[in-house]
Amino acid sequence: QKEVEQNSGPLSVPEGAIASLNCTYSDRGSQSFFWYRQYSGKSPELIMFIYSNGDKEDGRFTAQLNKASQYVSLLIRDSQPSDSATYLCAVNGPVAGGGGSNYKLTFGKGTLLTVNP
């Protein structure tokens, strides 16, 4: 069973600080990695994705990927109270028996982030 592990939190940071969210995955065949944000009672929305080892920056968000360690992280700089939400790590891997051409997302349980004013 392919697994995606996240600390459930809650992670509490003061406004303006850096929030660091971590995720590990078990399937070495995973191809791409996504971070979704989910506000309470709402649907997940994509923040960013990363395919290659290293860092990828988008505004206040930086995703980091280390395939050798099977580890992906999300850094949020200058955290704002509006960033308070659950952050879901999702890993894209091949569907078993799919011939290598079909992929599906496996989500972690999410980390609840609270940014305190």
Partner 1 sequence: EAGVAQSPRYKIIEKRQSVAFWCNPISGHATLYWYQQILGQGPKLLIQFQNNGVVDDSQLPKDRFSAERLKGVDSTLKIQPAKLEDSAVYLCASSLVAGVGEQYFGPGTRLTVT
Part in contact with partner 1 (CB under 8 A); list of ranges 9-17, 53-61, 69-77, 95-103: 95-103
Residue of 91, 85, 76 whose CA lies nearest to 34:
91
User: CB 37 → partner 1: shortest distance, Å?
Assistant: 11
User: CB 89 → partner 1: shortest distance, Å?
Assistant: 8
The single-letter code of the amino acid at 110 is: G
- Binding to partner 1 by residue 4, rule CB under 8 A? yes
- Binding to partner 1 by residue 23, rule CB under 8 A? no
User: CB 103 → partner 1: shortest distance, Å?
Assistant: 3
Q: How far is CA 64 from CA 9, 58, 75, 116, in A?
A: 20, 12, 8, 25
- Binding to partner 1 by residue 63, rule CB under 8 A? no
- Dmax over CA atoms of the chain, in Å, equals 50
The single-letter code of the amino acid at 67 is: K
The burial of 69, by beta-carbon neighbours within 10 Å (0-12 exposed, 13-18 middle, 19 or more buried), is given as exposed
71 within 8 A of 22, measured Cβ to Cβ: yes
- Binding to partner 1 by residue 22, rule CB under 8 A? no
Part in contact with partner 1 (CB under 8 A); list of ranges 13-21, 56-64, 75-83, 86-94: 86-94
Q: Which residues bind partner 1 (CB under 8 A)?
A: 4, 8, 32, 34, 42-46, 49, 88, 90, 92, 95-96, 98, 101-110
